[in-house]
A = this chain, B = another copy of it.
Amino acid sequence: MAKKTPYILVSNDDGFFSNGIKALARLAAEFGRVVVIAPDREQSAVGHAVTIHEPLRANRVKVVDDIEGFAVTGTPADCVKLAHDQLLEEKPDLVLSGINHGSNAGINLLYSGTVSAATEGTVLGYPSIAVSCTDFDNSADLSGCLDAARLMISQVLESGLPKGITLNINAPAGPFKGLKWSKMADSRYVEEYEGRQDPFKRPYFWLTGKFELLDDSPDADIQLLRQGFATVTPIQYDLTHYLMLEEMKSKTES
């Protein structure tokens, strides 16, 4: 019996004008029917924000080739929620987010709109994958990202993903050495703000931030990316630290 053609939702946080979303939509079209539902403007670093105090609008747009979609006046998480509840023709077989122009490895995960779109897909029960290129340049060579994504998309369409788990792919620009399973590297930003004075002598602060890697595990995503590999990290939205929970329960409930 022929398999149903997969129906694939593509979103991102850079908006419709990025090369990354066009490349990912074209890749998705190799696998099935594609609809792109993404923010109508850049929404980087919005994390898992959702819009609650104003309504959303969704306008039909042509994306690339004959792929169409909706530009939504909200965040990446809004896009996936609104897609699921109102805009999709049927339940999607896969949610893809990206390709982000800029790394979503290590602590960047927390702030990432790209990853939040995929996480929202997982919360709603769909297999979901985020894809990012470590190069910020909008014209970076995305061929490696596409190869890594192609591999994981085909595995996930074949076998699905365990409940509650999202895949987070990062790859360098251009070719890479191989795709490695990885953990989110412990890391943080230091010396974050540059203070300035406005013409009226009042201070204001620009976020700049020097990235600091605190993790020397051989399977940390950032380590592997620096060595020229692409990485795929299984992430979860259940934030409970079960080890501490069990310890505290056994101390307090004995």
Q: Which of B53, B56, B193, B204 contacts A81 (CB 8 A)?
A: B193
What is the CB-to-nearest-CB distance from A244 to chain B, in angstroms, rounded to a whole number? Answer: 4
Complex CA gap A75/B235 in Å reads 24
CB-based contact A52/B244 at 8 Å: no
Chain A residues within 8 Å of chain B by Cβ, number: 67
Complex CA gap A163/B33 in Å reads 45
Number of copies of this protein chain within its complex: 2
CB-based contact B188/A124 at 8 Å: yes
A-B residue pairs in contact (CB < 8 Å), sample of 28: A47-B50, A48-B110, A49-B111, A50-B111, A50-B207, A55-B204, A55-B205, A55-B206, A56-B204, A56-B205, A78-B207, A81-B189, A86-B193, A86-B195, A86-B205, A107-B237, A123-B188, A124-B188, A165-B244, A181-B253, A183-B238, A184-B240, A186-B238, A233-B245, A234-B241, A235-B240, A236-B239, A236-B240
> Which chain A residues have a beta carbon within 8 Å of chain B's beta carbons?
44-53, 55-58, 77-78, 81-82, 84-86, 107, 109-111, 116, 119, 123-124, 162, 164-165, 181-184, 186, 188-189, 191-193, 195-196, 202-207, 219, 233-242, 244-245, 248-249, 252-253
